[in-house]
Amino acid sequence: MKDVENLGKKLGYTSQTGRFHNISLGQGQEIIAENSLETAAKEGDWVVLQNIHLVKHWLPTLERKLERLLENAQEDFRLFMSAEPSADFSTHIIPQGILENSLKITSESHTGTELY
Asked whether residue 71 is assigned to any structural domain, the reply reads yes
Q: Which residue has the higher pLDDT, 39 or 98?
A: 39
Asked whether residue 109 is assigned to any structural domain, the reply reads no
C-alpha to C-alpha distance for 79 and 38, rounded to whole angstroms: 11
Asked whether residue 116 is assigned to any structural domain, the reply reads no
C-alpha to C-alpha distance for 29 and 35, rounded to whole angstroms: 10
Q: Which long-range contacts (CB under 8 A, 24 or more apart) does 35-42 make?
A: 37/65, 37/66, 37/69, 37/79, 38/69, 40/77, 40/79, 41/69, 41/70, 41/72, 41/73, 41/74, 41/77, 42/73, 42/74
Asked whether residue 40 is assigned to any structural domain, the reply reads yes
Number of compact structural domains in the chain:
1
Q: Which residue has the higher pLDDT, 104 or 16?
A: 16
Q: In percent, how much of the chain has pLDDT > 90?
A: 64
Asked whether residue 58 is assigned to any structural domain, the reply reads yes
Tens-digit pLDDT profile for residues 50-106: 999 899 999 999 999 999 999 999 999 999 999 887 776 666 788 888 888 887 777
Asked whether residue 50 is assigned to any structural domain, the reply reads yes
Asked whether residue 113 is assigned to any structural domain, the reply reads no
Please give the mean pLDDT across all residues of the chain: 88
What residue numbers bound the domain in which 24 lies? 2-100
- In the predicted structure, residue 18 carries a pLDDT above the cut 80: yes
Asked whether residue 77 is assigned to any structural domain, the reply reads yes
What is the CATH number for 82? 3.40.50.300
* Confidence at 25, pLDDT banded by 50, 70, 90: very high
* Confidence at 116, pLDDT banded by 50, 70, 90: very low
C-alpha to C-alpha distance for 21 and 99, rounded to whole angstroms: 21
